[in-house]
Amino acid sequence: MAVDLNTLDFDEIARKEAARHRGRRWKVAVALLFSLVWVVPFYFLAISIFKSSTEYASNPPLSLPAGLSPIAENAQRAWELGNMGQSMLNSGFYGTLGAALAVFFAAMAAFAITRIDLPWKNGWFMLIFAGTVFPFQMYLIPLFFGYQKLGLLNSHLGMLLFYTAICVPFPTLVLRNFMSGLSREMDEAARMDGAGEFTVFFRVVLPNTVGPMIAVFLLQFTWIWNDMLFSTVLGNRLETRSIMNALLIFQGSYSSIGPNIVLTAALIASVPSLILFFLLRRHFMQGLQVQQA
Is there a contact between 197 and 118 (Cβ–Cβ < 8 Å)?
A: no
| Closest distance to another protein from the beta carbon of 176 (Å) | 11
Which of 86, 273 has the CB closer to another protein? 273
| Closest distance to another protein from the beta carbon of 10 (Å) | 24
Sequence-distant (6+) residues with CB within 8 A of 95 are 163, 221, 222, 224, 225
Is there a contact between 265 and 250 (Cβ–Cβ < 8 Å)?
A: yes
DSSP H or E stretch at residue 226? helix 210-226
Which of 10, 38 has the CB closer to another protein? 38
| Closest distance to another protein from the beta carbon of 30 (Å) | 7
Report angle CA 162, 166, 172 to the nearest 5 degrees.
135
Q: What sign does the CA torsion over 45, 47, 52, 58 have?
A: negative
Which of 2, 33 has the CB closer to another protein? 33
Which of 76, 291 has the CB closer to another protein? 291
Which of 5, 27 has the CB closer to another protein? 27
Is there a contact between 16 and 37 (Cβ–Cβ < 8 Å)?
A: no
| Closest distance to another protein from the beta carbon of 182 (Å) | 16
Report angle CA 114, 118, 122 to the nearest 5 degrees.
60
| Closest distance to another protein from the beta carbon of 183 (Å) | 20
Sequence-distant (6+) residues with CB within 8 A of 241 are 87, 90, 231, 232, 235
| Closest distance to another protein from the beta carbon of 72 (Å) | 21
Which of 109, 216 has the CB closer to another protein? 109
